[in-house]
């Protein structure tokens, strides 16, 4: 059987399993088992056991459940309830006024959550009713929230960065630091769009609320200060080389528990709920990663990555054309799969091609996160769109239309990091080596 026929058979088997409702991790493992059993001489059972055990016992992966737990703990504090009250006085003088709370709120919560859907849901639960009550137009409110919610993937600590780091064997600490500048850049682009929209549609923006003094602003923001300090401590420990990503995650969990205790929101019930929530999410991700690791091994045995890399090389694409092709590929794939599945499913095949083109894997990781962010707001499987549909009751197509300007700004962000790669690589280059 030709390589093309084998590839087509495996792809059809994968989509058949996914379409039938089989869990993604099990679907990946099933296709890998078929590939090993039919098209290689190595026993499939032995390969599955060794690969899944090696993937699940990776020390690097221990940062993931800890960061997820940190986000779950802080999610159950008064952070989400107090965030609007703390941010609103600072936004009152900006063009667009309280619309900026969507973006700044998502940026702050992204630094403790690591999940796009969780960021969108948490900030939306807080800002949607408040902004509607104050008379802000639904379209711009929902559109900016859909776009800004994706910052949960880019601003560290990010779950998808950990998944990419494990899949591509790239330093997670360096990925975290590399995401800081692009994350700030994207948030700035979103805020610039809101300001421009507000200046163009002055009549649609409610009047400013009463002026507040600096002392009043600081007092209103008092509940956010400990969270910002915790974020600074976690990322600062990584940047300064004091702690690895796993150690910084442990610091974050301890800090989140202390913060929750000081706020009076830590009791036996919330502790158990946060631990169970983190365990469920991590088990889902670990199952996907294990299945993807086995599928990557199977693809290696049948030679698919090598053949694909040779085929792409034969096309004679320039580096820019390759990046454009990969961006389109990931956005299209995002119409059917979630971000983590996209990364683990494609890395084994894509990385040889990327390395052959001389693309820095650290830079490529941030590029992948950005294009996966774009996929989060493209129907039919845009996770942020689903979250907002559940919260607003609006049609999915209407929400997608409101989010289209944010999609365009993400395209601009991808072009900027391509033209100026130092936006990604400069800060990690300044890192002190960790232990």
Tell me the two tokens of residue 173.
Answer: 């600490």
CB–CB of 179/370 below 8 Å?
Answer: no
Residue 10 lies in a domain: no
What is the CA angle 112-117-122, rounded to 5?
Answer: 60
Q: Look at residue 423 in the predicted model and tell me its pLDDT.
A: 92
Residue 177 lies in a domain: yes
Residue 5 lies in a domain: no
End-to-end CA distance of the chain: 49
Predicted TM-score of the model (pTM)? 0.75
- What share of the chain has pLDDT > 90, as a percent? 10
Per-residue pLDDT band at 114 (split at 50, 70, 90)? low
- Higher model confidence: residue 53 or residue 433? 53
- What share of the chain has pLDDT > 70, as a percent? 87
What phi-psi label fits residue 11: left (phi over 0), alpha (psi between -120 and 50 degrees) or beta? Answer: alpha
Closest of 16, 82, 144, 37 to residue 409, by C-alpha = 144
Per-residue pLDDT band at 33 (split at 50, 70, 90)? confident
Q: How many other C-beta atoms lie within 10 A of the C-beta of residue 303?
A: 14
Residue 180 has pLDDT above 70, yes or no: yes
- Quote the mean pLDDT of the chain: 80
Residue 18 lies in a domain: no
When mean pLDDT is compared over 41-45, 268-272, 293-297, the highest value belongs to: 268-272
Distance (Å, whole) CA 397 – CA 378:
9
Distance (Å, whole) CA 252 – CA 254:
6
**Residue whose pair of structure tokens reads 């941030």 in the numeric block:** 366
Distance (Å, whole) CA 179 – CA 413:
12
Per-residue pLDDT band at 361 (split at 50, 70, 90)? very high
Looking at residues 394-422, what average pLDDT do you find? 90
Most distant CA pair in the chain, distance = 75
Residue 12 has pLDDT above 90, yes or no: no
pLDDT digits (tens, 9 = 90+) for 380-391: 656 677 778 777
Q: Look at residue 182 in the predicted model and tell me its pLDDT.
A: 92
Distance (Å, whole) CA 103 – CA 120:
10
Per-residue pLDDT band at 365 (split at 50, 70, 90)? very high
Q: Look at residue 243 in the predicted model and tell me its pLDDT.
A: 79
Residue 2 lies in a domain: no
Q: How many other C-beta atoms lie within 10 A of the C-beta of residue 72?
A: 25
When mean pLDDT is compared over 54-68, 157-171, 229-243, the highest value belongs to: 157-171
Q: What one-character-per-residue DSSP string does 170-214 give?
A: --HHHHHHHTHHHHHHHHHHHHHHHHHHHHHTGGGSPPP-----H
pLDDT digits (tens, 9 = 90+) for 80-113: 566 667 777 777 777 877 888 888 888 877 776 6
Residue 1 lies in a domain: no
Looking at residues 398-426, what average pLDDT do you find? 91
Task: Answer whether the bond into residue 384 is a cis peptide, omega within 30°.
Answer: no
Count Cβ neighbours within 10 Å for each residue of 403-433 and write b for 16 or more, e otherwise: bebbbebbeebbebbbeebebbbebbeebee
Domain count, the chain: 1
Residue 125 has pLDDT above 90, yes or no: no
Distance (Å, whole) CA 141 – CA 81:
18
Which residue range is the domain that position 174 belongs to?
24-33+42-429
CB–CB of 239/177 below 8 Å?
Answer: yes
Residue 433 has pLDDT above 60, yes or no: no
Tell me the two tokens of residue 114.
Answer: 């690591």
- Higher model confidence: residue 344 or residue 81? 344
pLDDT digits (tens, 9 = 90+) for 64-79: 788 778 877 877 776 6
Integer Rg of the chain from CA:
22
Distance (Å, whole) CA 239 – CA 397:
41
When mean pLDDT is compared over 38-42, 122-126, 179-183, 351-355, the highest value belongs to: 179-183
Closest of 221, 206, 240, 22 to residue 99, by C-alpha = 206
Tell me the two tokens of residue 404.
Answer: 């289209």
Closest of 421, 418, 292 to residue 345, by C-alpha = 292
Residue 142 has pLDDT above 60, yes or no: yes
Closest of 176, 184, 182, 183 to residue 249, by C-alpha = 176
- Higher model confidence: residue 192 or residue 157? 192
Distance (Å, whole) CA 260 – CA 75:
10
On the CB side of 135, CA atoms within 13 Å amount to: 7
Per-residue pLDDT band at 411 (split at 50, 70, 90)? very high
pLDDT digits (tens, 9 = 90+) for 38-65: 777 777 777 788 777 777 776 667 777 8
Residue 290 lies in a domain: yes
Closest of 93, 75, 82, 95 to residue 130, by C-alpha = 82
Per-residue pLDDT band at 435 (split at 50, 70, 90)? very low
Distance (Å, whole) CA 102 – CA 128:
9
Residue 142 lies in a domain: yes
Distance (Å, whole) CA 418 – CA 81:
38
Looking at residues 263-269, what average pLDDT do you find? 82
For the CA atoms of 127, 115, 197, 214, what is the dihedral angle to 10 degrees?
A: 60
């Amino acid at each position: 059987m030709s390589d093309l026929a084998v590839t087509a058979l495996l792809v059809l088997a994968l989509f058949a399993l996914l379409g039938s409702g089989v869990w993604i991790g099990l679907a990946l493992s099933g296709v890998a088992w078929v590939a090993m059993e039919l098209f290689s001489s190595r026993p499939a059972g032995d390969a599955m056991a060794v690969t899944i055990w090696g993937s699940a016992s990776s020390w690097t992966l221990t940062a993931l459940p800890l960061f997820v737990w940190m986000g779950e703990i802080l999610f159950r504090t008064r952070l989400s309830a107090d965030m609007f009250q703390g941010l609103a006085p600072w936004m009152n003088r900006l063009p667009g006024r309280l619309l900026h709370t969507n973006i700044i709120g998502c940026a702050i919560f992204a630094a403790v959550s690591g999940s796009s859907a969780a960021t969108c849901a948490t900030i939306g639960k807080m800002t949607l009713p408040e902004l509607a009550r104050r008379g802000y137009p639904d379209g711009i409110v929902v559109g900016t929230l859909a776009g800004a919610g994706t910052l949960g993937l880019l601003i560290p600590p990010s779950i998808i960065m950990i998944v990419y780091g494990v899949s591509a064997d790239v330093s997670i600490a360096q990925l975290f630091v590399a995401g800081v500048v692009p994350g700030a850049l994207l948030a700035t682009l979103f805020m610039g769009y809101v300001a421009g929209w507000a200046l163009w549609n002055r009549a649609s923006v409610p009047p400013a609320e009463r002026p507040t003094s600096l002392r009043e602003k600081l007092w209103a923001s008092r509940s956010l200060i400990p969270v910002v300090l915790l974020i600074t401590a976690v990322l600062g420990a990584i940047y300064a080389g004091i702690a690895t990503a796993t150690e910084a995650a442990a610091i974050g969990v301890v800090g989140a528990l202390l913060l929750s205790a000081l706020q009076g929101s830590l009791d036996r019930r919330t502790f158990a709920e946060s631990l169970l929530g983190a365990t469920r999410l991590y088990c889902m991700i670990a199952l996907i990663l294990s299945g993807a690791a086995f599928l990557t091994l199977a693809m290696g045995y049948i030679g698919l990555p090598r053949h694909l890399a040779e085929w792409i090389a034969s096309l004679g694409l320039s580096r820019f054309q390759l990046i454009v092709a990969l961006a389109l590929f990931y956005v299209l794939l995002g119409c059917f799969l979630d971000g983590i599945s996209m990364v683990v499913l494609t890395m084994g095949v894509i990385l040889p091609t990327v390395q052959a083109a001389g693309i820095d894997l650290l830079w490529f990781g941030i590029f992948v996160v950005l294009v996966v962010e774009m996929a989060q707001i493209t129907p039919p499987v845009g996770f942020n769109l689903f979250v907002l549909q559940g919260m607003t009751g609006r049609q999915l197509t209407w929400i997608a239309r409101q989010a289209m300007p944010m999609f365009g700004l993400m395209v601009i962000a991808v072009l900027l990091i391509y033209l100026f790669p130092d936006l990604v690589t400069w800060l990690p280059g300044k890192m002190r080596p960790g232990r």
